[in-house]
Amino acid sequence: MTSCETKPTLVLYTGGTFGMKVNGEGLKPVEKFTVSDELETIVSLSDRKKADEISRKFGDAVLQMRSFTTRKTKTVDREPIKYHFYELDTLIDSSLMNEDNWKEIATLIKGFYDDYSGFVVVMGTDTMAYASSALSFMLENLGKPVVFTGAQIPIFDGRSDGPENLMCSLIVSTLGIPEVLLCFNKKAFRGNRVVKTDCVDLDAYDSPNLPPLVTLDSKVTGSKTESLERKPGNLQVQEMCPKGQVGLLVIYPGITEEQVRNTVKALHAVVVLTFGSGNIDDKIVNVLGDEQLKRKRLYANVTQCLKGAVTSDYNASKALERLGAVNCSDITTEAAFTKLSYVLAKKGTFEERKQMMETVLRGEMSAEDRVKKNRNIENN
């Protein structure tokens, strides 16, 4: 795999374990610029003794950044990678992130889009799969790589996985793959296909229904999974719907009708996390139907299993199908939740939004039999 452009990469640093130290009660992000200082001491990521201080205009603001160059590596047939490292003003644990933070990241990417060949977002691992899924929808007409990464061990620790994860992400950011990815432990996955499966080990993510797009072992290799097509048109940032409109309903044995009603009554769209290949008790579906009469809602049928897809094989999946719930195939919970938020924010009728949910928009689910060719419905 070779690079397509020679512009630098922009790294947006938002917080997370990557740059945390124990302070008072547990790990929390260190002060701004401490991570930039530390990067200067990591040989693979900083080929000079001192990084250049730079500033770039963003709207009315002037953002302080540092300019680094990686050390040359023979595993990638190219020159050392130049990158600019920008630390956001408020560095946070990703468990505090929501759609406002996703919008801030997306807006920065749009603002600097023409100046860089790719982007890396360093954040906490807890909600990274939500963020990478969200950005995959919010960044419309994306034509450059946006690579999410982080660490399980802070970069101040001798055994940190942060430097390797950042180095691999920088490499992926130069490969011209026009989509949002998540790179961790030497694998780069499609960003809306990943789940965090381990909160301790360095191999923290899996993409249960799609192999990695790039593997970064001693050689960097692309997999057979094809990356998305580059879409024509300028990059646009589509916001998510207001908070509180989309939610999750986890089905479990013995869940009561009252519990279901209480969960869905205020929502406009619901990810219904069903058993196996989309199965659910008819009694629960009746409650969902009653609530549907009070307010039209988008229901998305998503399996609780990591692997496999929602099908209509079982009688126990028919009632939800009759109710008009969208069969979301093998989508992850994170991608279903963020896709619903994206779809709800779009102009259009209930039926048009439902059709968007059924359509594969960014390679987020395998649904060959239901892939809608007409992508125009997105351009509302």
| Residue 165 is a binding residue for ligand ASP (CB under 6 A) | no
| Residue 19 is a binding residue for ligand ASP (CB under 6 A) | no
What is each CA distance from 359 to 84, 237, 279, 352, 369, in whole angstroms?
36, 20, 22, 11, 11
Only segment of 87-95, 111-119, 290-298, 334-342 that touches ligand ASP (CB under 6 A): 87-95
Structure token digits, residue 70: 């990686």
| Residue 132 is a binding residue for ligand ASP (CB under 6 A) | no
Active site residue 174: no
Helix or strand or coil: residue 215? strand
Binder to ligand ASP among 3, 36, 46, 94 (CB under 6 A)? 94
What is each CA distance from 357 to 48, 225, 314, 327, 329, in whole angstroms?
48, 23, 22, 9, 11
Rank residues 20 and 310 by Cβ distance to ligand ASP and give the closer one: 20
How far is Cα 290 from Cα 294, in angstroms, rounded to an integer? Answer: 7
Burial class (CB in 10 A: 0-12, 13-18, 19+), 69: middle
**338 neighbors 240 (Cβ within 8 angstroms):** yes
Question: Which is catalytic among the residues 9, 17, 174, 359?
Answer: 17
**209 neighbors 192 (Cβ within 8 angstroms):** no
Q: How far is the CB of 223 from ligand ASP (least distance, A)?
A: 25
Binder to ligand ASP among 16, 19, 163, 191 (CB under 6 A)? 16
Only segment of 92-100, 140-148, 205-213, 230-238 that touches ligand ASP (CB under 6 A): 92-100
Q: How far is the CB of 95 from ligand ASP (least distance, A)?
A: 5
| Residue 125 is a binding residue for ligand ASP (CB under 6 A) | yes
How far is Cα 45 from Cα 324, in angstroms, rounded to an integer? Answer: 51
Binder to ligand ASP among 17, 70, 192, 359 (CB under 6 A)? 17
Tell me, by CB under 6 A, how many residues bind ligand ASP: 10
Q: Which residues are catalytic?
A: 17
Binding site for ligand ASP (CB under 6 A): 16-17, 93-95, 124-126, 150, 152
